[in-house]
Chains A and B, each alone.
Chain A
Amino acid sequence: MSRKFNRLLDAVAELDDGLARGVVQYGYSDCSRILDRPHQWDARHFMTDAELGTEMEKADIVISHAGVGTILKANALRKRLIICPRLHMYDEHVDDHQLQITNFISSIRPAGILVSEANYKSLGDAIHEVARCEVVDELINPYSIQAFVKDMIDAAA
């Protein structure tokens, strides 16, 4: 994924110092506004999987694009999560599959997991709302497919 997601970083850069501070993995996006606020944001180009896991464990809230890997990781750690889908119309992804998974998650309304509005202008409000959640629903439920895959392979062998 080498596409930029400047809209989200701009929205993060707009957040008040008193509301949010933490670690930002900016990847290929323009991080100049984030770098201007070193007292608020610890900006990292990329983190290893282990580093990302460590930082997520320390976080109260995770704000992320709608990548399934990040959603699963945050949920496995039971972190409050705000999901911001990359959109094809802004060349943030090759298509709108992040919007599809976001719409699905939005439809089942899990506690502690919030889908941000498309323009991210209300990211601060989303932080306030998700911070009020006392529990985070478990999204991960792989038991059926795990069992089927195991049986399938055992039967084929």
Chain B
Amino acid sequence: MKQWSGPVFIMASPGGHASQALIITERLGRRIFLSYSHLDKFRSEKGVEKVLRAFPVRTSVIGHVANFGLFAWYFLRYRPRALVSTGGPFCLPAFVIAKWVGVPCFYIDTLSRVEGFSNTCQMILDRKLASKVLTQWPHLADADKGVEYHGSIIALRHGGNNVAEIQQVA
């Protein structure tokens, strides 16, 4: 199938997931955000082309089913070139769709999980739903599970900025 060339879909629950997603994807070009609440947070960000609403899921299977149909429509309508998510679970149907239609999809586990993966991350790993899974903690990188570490949203060492990392990407 020919690779789609539309904007990148960014999916994040409100709160910390959204804050991380907004910062991590800052350098990408055209971005469309998908979330289910606090949509004003995304609309006010520079470089956000559009904000699309999802259904809140919590523990509801119905919410996931409804989102599956909604996300399928969004994929057909906007033809994203990639999908990036920092969680939570409402993103799962989108990863299934992305896998089916061949859109590269990347899951970045939330910074707040210091001692292990989030449930959403674990489900994505178990079902091999993502093209790549990133952790923001070096000690959680696991080659056997296919989880890679390539930096974090915050400085992980005492003294603020990681100068070597900044120089590396400058």
Contact = CB atoms under 8 A, between A and B. Distances in A.
Interface in A39-92: 48-50, 66-70, 72-73
B153 A141 contact: yes
A19 interface: no
Contact of A156 (B23, B44, B82, B155): B82
Given A68-B110, A147-B27, A153-B104, A108 B38 contact: no
B15 A146 contact: no
Contacts of A137: 159-160
A142 B8 contact: no
B51 interface: no
B157 interface: yes
A69 B18 contact: yes
B126 interface: no
Nearest to B137: A104
A33 interface: no
A49 B41 contact: yes
A141 B19 contact: no
Contacts of B114: 97, 100-101, 103-104
A69 B82 CA distance: 24
User: How many A residues are at the interface, by size bracket?
Assistant: 35 or more
B108 A149 contact: yes
Nearest to B14: A69
Contact of B19 (A66, A72, A98): A72
B166 interface: yes
Given A48-B40, A72-B16, A72-B19, A140 B153 contact: yes
Nearest to A51: B40
B154 A141 contact: yes
Contacts of A103: 114
Given A50-B44, A69-B15, A149-B24, 5 more contacts: A66-B112, A67-B16, A100-B115, A141-B160, A143-B166
Interface of B: 3, 5, 8, 15-20, 23-28, 38, 40-41, 44, 81-82, 84, 104, 106, 108, 110-115, 131-132, 134, 136, 150-162, 165-166, 168-169
